Amino acid sequence: MTALRPSRTAPLLIPSRPKRWGRLAITVVVILVVVAAFWSIDINWGRLGSLPAEIVHYLWLMFSNPDWTKLPEALFQTWRSVEMAWVGTVIGLIISLPLSFLSARGFSPAPARVGLRVIFAIIRAVPEIIIAIVILSVTGLTPLTGALALAVNSVGTLGKWGYESIEGVDPGPIEAVRAAGGSTAEVIRWGVWPSVSPDFISFWLYRFEINVRSSAVLGLIGVGGIGDMLTSYTQYRLWSVVGVLLLVVVVVTMSIDAVSGAIRRRITEGATVRELDR
């Protein structure tokens, strides 16, 4: 009977200490950028102390005695802003839906796919107000200008969200439809759309929420809506009217966000199942 020999174990490898110079360099660069940004901006630091009192003063002017006689006009202009956002969203989703499939892997050649993704990135990099300024040289200062600007920006956002959702679909149904001899349209209808439709509808509703808020900003350049009215009364310093306008904007925007959020949760999560009392 042979004696058991102790087995030779491999030497314990101790990981090397992480180098801290990279993290330190990034920290120094970030600090320098922040300091340079504050240094280059002409900020009157002496007014920071009086800023809270000025904010309270203007809030008092706006909300101490609101001019409710302008409420009907404010509601009408807010409705125009909502219409602008809705039209822009509908146009954007109609254009972005086919482009989302063309920019997804497996549905178009690589050059077309890359080109569309670059276009989406460029559109998202340009704010809606800049797009509106370019469009108004053709259409003029009309609500159509704001709707088209929102539509263009919606294409960039919805297109990106769309092809990312399509590429995340389970390949099983797609392969099954193709194995059965289905065409590209049938693959999209039966292999892709049932999986991505809840995400797409949720994206569209969320983009509508964004466009409602953006439509108020676009009104600042004179394309109509509540933003246009808000700019006019602010310039004339009619703070009692401005307060009413702000209240209308906040209430309407929060109401639309609440309704849209509830619909999106119902679509993505389904109906709430209640436990029956026994």
Domain covering 65-269: architecture: Orthogonal Bundle (1.10)
Judged on CB neighbours under 10 Å (0-12, 13-18, 19+), 2 is exposed
CA 109 – CA 62 distance, rounded (Å): 57
In residues, how long is the chain? Answer: 278
Q: What does the pLDDT profile of the chain (278 residues) look like in tens digits?
A: 455 555 555 566 666 666 677 778 888 888 888 888 777 777 776 777 777 888 888 889 888 888 898 899 989 999 999 999 999 999 999 999 999 999 988 888 889 999 999 999 999 999 888 999 889 888 887 888 989 999 999 999 999 999 999 988 888 888 888 888 888 888 888 888 888 888 899 899 999 999 998 888 888 787 888 888 888 888 888 888 988 999 998 998 899 888 888 888 887 776 654 544 54
Question: Distance of CA 68 to CAs 72, 216, 254, Å?
Answer: 8, 20, 20
Max alpha carbon distance in the chain (Å)? 107
